Structure 1
Amino acid sequence: MKQIGHNVFVHQYSPTAGVVVSFGKDGSEAIDGAVYSESGGNPKVSSSEYIKRGENDAKLLEMHRLATESPNKWALLSTKASFIGGWGFRLFDRQIHNMKEQLIPFYSTNFDEFHDRLDLDDFHQAASYQLAFGNELNVKMTLDSTNKVASLEVVDNNDIRSEKPLKGKTKTERFWLSNKFGFQKTVKKEDCLILPAYDASDPTKYPVCIIHQIKRIPMQRFNGMAEWWGSKEWGEVTNDVPKYYKAAFRNGFFVTHHISIPDDYFDKEGLDDVAKEKLKIDTLNEIADVLSGIDDANKILVTFSKYSADGKGILKEIKVTPITNPIKDEAFIRMFEAANLVQASSHAMPGKLAGVQLGSQMGSSGKEIVAEADYLQDYLTYFDRTMICKPVQIAKRIEGLEPLKVLGIKRMESYTPDVTPKDNTSNPNPK
């Protein structure tokens, strides 16, 4: 019989069945094992505060809004996520050949069952996006009654907060989960699900726990911080360019004609003010019908004045003057492209791979693009791939699955005619 709480015990009489025994307490009440210590079943001392993410706890919402308003930010994030995740989880046999370590692909039906049972395809995609967006990965690991891993669930980073450590401690011991974070100033503890942090010294200590990982950027002890957040203002520049053009179309930047009408043109004998106003409207409508083709295609500027537009004479009749479209340079387009390249670099991606380097700069060399893709996935995603593999590696060890095999990410491969070596696995025409 094992004590799991204050005056609460559990007796397991078969591998999949057990009974809960309580003394002086309604046994039907839920017992949260994470709230109690291992010494005598006394309640743990816990903090009543959580660590917020930025001003008003809304940093992630702010960056999500910036990405959603952008014409290409989600494309950048999706590209980075794809390079992080590669072609998914695989097992490898580690071998040494000619003093060099090699990872040889290894097939296992047990791993396939494990992969399908935990739905690692969904885990792989969700984890890749969370890392690309925020350099942070939180995974809720649940064990069944036999200590097998029942599920690995990626928790959205905006739905989790680190509990503020007690005095004298620097490590997070518990996490608060709620879908209200960021949407309100403070979330009460009683409105959250409180889960303990994964204990590496005792992997099966808690039936449910959080595996929390962040990029170890200096001074970021609790929350992740993505490099691309530093390009916020460049992202706003990119977002403002289409807004400028949209406002230009709507607010008359593209004015095609200037119509000058003498201010006494409608002063006809025998017409009162109402009749004059009607004549003015009818005349303007007729002019608009003549000059416009498609609805709202052009804008017309109409002025009423005693003098001509150049101020050199008296205006005696209606004058229609075409106006040249002032937008003839590519300044805004160049600025848009420059902002996109800066943003791509903030995601640690070459412009070609990010799809934002356009025109003649894009180049046509497949070899060059493949080389950049290899550089990105082999050198710039190492830490990300280590983080995405860790929860799966923990689950693999808990279940004793293929202990001699290495878990890793299958790298993406490309084939370029006359360039890819014959002995490369991606070459469809090997030696």
Structure 2
Amino acid sequence: FTRIEYEPDGTPVLSVSDCFITRIGRPASGNKATEFHINPYFGSHAAGLQSGTDKLPAFDRKRPDQHVASIWHGREYISGQPFYAFPSWWCSRDWIELANLIAPFHISGLKNGYNIKYVIKVPKDYFDKEGGRTLDPKEVQKKWADWTQKMSDWLAGTDNVNKALIVRYLRGDDGKALDAIDVVPLKNENSDDAYSKVWEMANIGITNAVGILPVLGGVTPGSKSGDSGSQIRVVANYQQSYRTPVHRKIILEPINFALRAMGYTDVVRLFKDVQLTTLDAAPSGTQPAVNANTA
């Protein structure tokens, strides 16, 4: 969103109206935006929306000097989106959600253990008696609860790695051990490689959705990335030349208008490109490029 204000001498002054605080006002009829609302509380405090909302008319391209201040809405027009542009990240919304779940999963896994680590076998009637006295059900239940909590505190968590558990038991008349607590460790089948592949796929999907080639986003490590110097150079030049024209044109539109309004009809508006080269072609590794993305 670009805010266009006219000085008393007719000079247009451009400034950015942040997209987080700018909304299209409800159209009186049809799908044409005629007004924009600006409020820093959009999306947060409902109380703040009741007052303090600035309302500015939409910029009229047919009558540009109709309003002293107005909002220019630059966007890529897509079928089915009559008001706002289509956020490119929507295409990777599921991948973003997945990527955000991986880190908390590993944090929890490292703190608490990815899988069940031990099977602890205890005779069902282990706490039924104390000495020669049979305990009532409530006392038995409390002993089970206390013992379970102590075992969890002893074996779980990052502070309890590789702990040993000593269990005392009784032997019968035949010299064999009577029923007692039996702690059986389980094999951890967790594979970090599987999660790494999911993480890599998620990042590739996210960067592609927002229009950045994965190699430039640094999210394709390893031999599959094509991350040699020559390959990165080719990809960077391709990204600059073929994936930016539409976005550059949208950004330049209000600037072009302002220049024409001030009488600068012979000024060329463009983004300055830098073409990456080999060091033998240019000691700095770069050279000026002919810019075709003008508006």
* TM-score of Structure 1 vs Structure 2, range by shorter chain: 0.7 to 0.9
| Alignment-mate amino acid for residue 199 of structure 1 | D
- 2:274 matched to 1:426? no
1:91 is aligned to: none
Residue 208 (structure 1) shift:
0.5
User: C-alpha separation between the residues in 2 aligned to 1:384 and 1:370?
Assistant: 21
User: C-alpha separation between the residues in 1 aligned to 2:152 and 2:141?
Assistant: 17
1:295 is aligned to: 159
| Alignment-mate amino acid for residue 153 of structure 1 | V
- 2:255 matched to 1:395? no
Residue 223 (structure 1) shift:
1.3
| Alignment-mate amino acid for residue 257 of structure 1 | Y
2:268 is aligned to: 406
- CA distance 1:271–1:344, change in 2 (3 Å): same
Structure 1, residues 122-175: CA drift from partner, whole Å, max 9, x if none?
Answer: xxxxxxxxxxxxxxxx11112222222344223325522144143xx6533322
Residue 287 (structure 1) shift:
9.8
**What SS does the corresponding residue of 1:408 show, helix, strand or coil?**
coil
Contact 2:39 2:49 in 1 (8 A): no
1:5 is aligned to: none
Structure 1, residues 209-248: CA drift from partner, whole Å, max 9, x if none?
Answer: 1111220112323211123312222222222333433444
- CA distance 1:256–1:204, change in 2 (3 Å): same
Query: Which of the numbers 174, 178, 181 marks the counterpart of 2:39?
Result: 178
Contact 2:215 2:227 in 1 (8 A): no
Contact 1:228 1:346 in 2 (8 A): yes
- What aligned pairs does 1:97-176 form with structure 2 within 5 A after superposition? 138-166=1-29, 171-176=32-37
User: C-alpha separation between the residues in 2 aligned to 1:375 and 1:296?
Assistant: 52
2:211 is aligned to: 348
1:323 is aligned to: 186
Structure 1, residues 13-47: CA drift from partner, whole Å, max 9, x if none?
Answer: xxxxxxxxxxxxxxxxxxxxxxxxxxxxxxxxxxx
Contact 1:195 1:208 in 2 (8 A): yes
- What aligned pairs does 1:82-101 form with structure 2 within 5 A after superposition? none
Counting matched residue pairs gives: 273
Residue 200 (structure 1) shift:
2.7
Residue 194 (structure 1) shift:
2.3
Contact 1:256 1:299 in 2 (8 A): no
Query: Which of the numbers 377, 384, 401 marks the counterpart of 2:247?
Result: 384
Residue 379 (structure 1) shift:
0.9
More strand by share: 1
User: C-alpha separation between the residues in 2 aligned to 1:322 and 1:259?
Assistant: 8
Contact 1:252 1:299 in 2 (8 A): no
**What SS does the corresponding residue of 1:361 show, helix, strand or coil?**
coil
Contact 1:259 1:319 in 2 (8 A): yes
**What SS does the corresponding residue of 2:3 show, helix, strand or coil?**
strand
User: C-alpha separation between the residues in 1 aligned to 2:279 and 2:73?
Assistant: 43
- CA distance 1:283–1:233, change in 2 (3 Å): closer
User: C-alpha separation between the residues in 1 aligned to 2:162 and 2:59?
Assistant: 64
User: C-alpha separation between the residues in 2 aligned to 1:262 and 1:215?
Assistant: 70
Structure 2's unaligned 5+ residue stretches are 165-176, 289-295
- CA distance 1:422–1:294, change in 2 (3 Å): closer
**What SS does the corresponding residue of 1:295 show, helix, strand or coil?**
helix
Residue 397 (structure 1) shift:
2.8
2:66 is aligned to: 205
Contact 1:341 1:357 in 2 (8 A): yes
- CA distance 1:162–1:251, change in 2 (3 Å): same
Residue 326 (structure 1) shift:
2.0
Residue 292 (structure 1) shift:
7.2
Residue 182 (structure 1) shift:
4.5
Residue 384 (structure 1) shift:
0.6
- CA distance 1:160–1:281, change in 2 (3 Å): closer
User: C-alpha separation between the residues in 1 aligned to 2:197 and 2:111?
Assistant: 23
**What SS does the corresponding residue of 1:371 show, helix, strand or coil?**
helix
Structure 1's unaligned 5+ residue stretches are 1-137, 301-313
TM-score, normalization: structure 1? 0.53
Contact 1:227 1:346 in 2 (8 A): yes
2:172 is aligned to: none
Residue 337 (structure 1) shift:
1.6
- CA distance 1:288–1:320, change in 2 (3 Å): farther
1:255 is aligned to: 116
- Larger RCO of the pair (alpha carbons < 8 Å, separation 6+): 1
- CA distance 1:373–1:299, change in 2 (3 Å): farther
**What SS does the corresponding residue of 1:373 show, helix, strand or coil?**
helix
User: C-alpha separation between the residues in 2 aligned to 1:287 and 1:218?
Assistant: 57
- CA distance 1:424–1:328, change in 2 (3 Å): closer
| Alignment-mate amino acid for residue 190 of structure 2 | I
User: C-alpha separation between the residues in 2 aligned to 1:242 and 1:404?
Assistant: 54
Identity of aligned residues (%): 26
- RMSD over aligned CA atoms reads 4.1
